[in-house]
Amino acid sequence: MTRIAALTGLAWSLALLAAPALAKGEIPFEKAKGWDIERTAPGAKARTCMMSKSYKDPDDDNAENALVFLLVDGQAYITFVYEHWTWDKDEKLRVPFLLDKKVAIAKSTWTGDGQVLSTVVPDSIVPNMLAARKMVLKLDGADADFDLAGFPEAYESLRRCDATPAHAVAPAPAAPQPAEARIKAFFLGAMFEAAMKECDVATTGRQRTAFGEKLGVLRKEMGPLEADLQAGIDKRPEPRCPTAQDAPKLQRSVQDFIDKTPEEFLASVESRAAEAEKTETPKP
């Protein structure tokens, strides 16, 4: 059950990754051609508007790309996110910045942090971005590009947002955040579901029906978190199927998921994981 405990920790880590986007409190303004235009949350240091777009690149194994763009005091702030980057925190890069095939800035300075690169450039770059279809960074060994489709319409919306008084933008009602225990229980249940689909796990039709109903209830509760949790499940490491020795443990966990509330199920999983860890930890 040590493996299950590790997955439980991963579930909560994924939830924490998703939570900041839900907790920042940005106020939606408009959507335009695949871009989201939002005003920064009340109480933020800089009250301004931002535009953002994300997509999965089918030519890059569906790698996630995202771009955030905003204007402050004559400067354009650009944040480029790519899921396969692993930059050191505050790592500095000076690279050519192209719009389509034309060099916009020969030596643009970007700051790295994990999957993120950020820069600040004069807002005089905007007309060139409005006319471009693609933004490209010439990195060592490979180009990083972002599809700017819809940028002109989104920029027009951004300017309307900046011109609209803050009190005229009503915040959207916040969706209730699932409890931690239920997030973890859903993640483990979704892992079990994947194992039952992909592996030779002995379950009855009645078990599968009852399991699916309980997991479906939790899935509805997850809301925006579900995509991040599912991404963690899809990227789980090999091997994905239990060994012959672990199969009975999985069968017991599936039945516990059916019989118990999510909170009771999680408590039993964590209790068994703690006991297993004590057994496996050598005495000094």
User: Among all chains, which residue has been given the structure tokens 């029906």?
Assistant: 209
User: Among all chains, which residue has been given the structure tokens 């089918």?
Assistant: 58
E strand segments, 123-215:
134-139, 142-147
Q: What is the pLDDT of residue 7?
A: 33
Please write the tens of the pLDDT for every residue from 251-281.
888 999 999 999 999 898 888 877 776 765 5
Q: How far apart (Å, rounded) are the C-alpha atoms in residues 44 and 247?
A: 51
Give the contacts of 249 (CB within 8 A, at least 6 positions apart). Answer: 1, 4, 242
Q: How far apart (Å, rounded) are the C-alpha atoms in residues 253 and 269?
A: 8
Q: What is the pLDDT of residue 97?
A: 97
Q: How far apart (Å, rounded) are the C-alpha atoms in residues 70 and 66?
A: 14
Q: How far apart (Å, rounded) are the C-alpha atoms in residues 13 and 132?
A: 38
Please write the tens of the pLDDT for every residue from 51-65.
999 999 998 999 999
Half-sphere exposure of 102 (CA within 13 A, CB side): 8
138: three-class secondary structure by DSSP: strand
* pTM passes above 0.85: no
Q: Confidence class of residue 222 from pLDDT cuts 50, 70 and 90? A: confident
Q: What is the pLDDT of residue 173?
A: 53
Other C-beta atoms lying within 10 Å of the C-beta of residue 258? 20
Over residues 232-238, the mean pLDDT reads 68
Q: Confidence class of residue 23 from pLDDT cuts 50, 70 and 90? A: very low
* Domains of the chain, start order: 2-16+176-280 (no CATH), 26-168 (2.60.40.1880)
Give the contacts of 193 (CB within 8 A, at least 6 positions apart). Answer: 211, 212, 215
Closest CA to 182 of 23, 12, 24, 13: 12
Q: Are 35 and 53 in contact (CB under 8 A)?
A: yes
Q: Are 149 and 35 in contact (CB under 8 A)?
A: no
* Residue 132 token pair: 């471009």
Which phi and psi (to 5°) does residue 281 adopt? Answer: -80, 115
Q: How far apart (Å, rounded) are the C-alpha atoms in residues 88 and 91?
A: 5
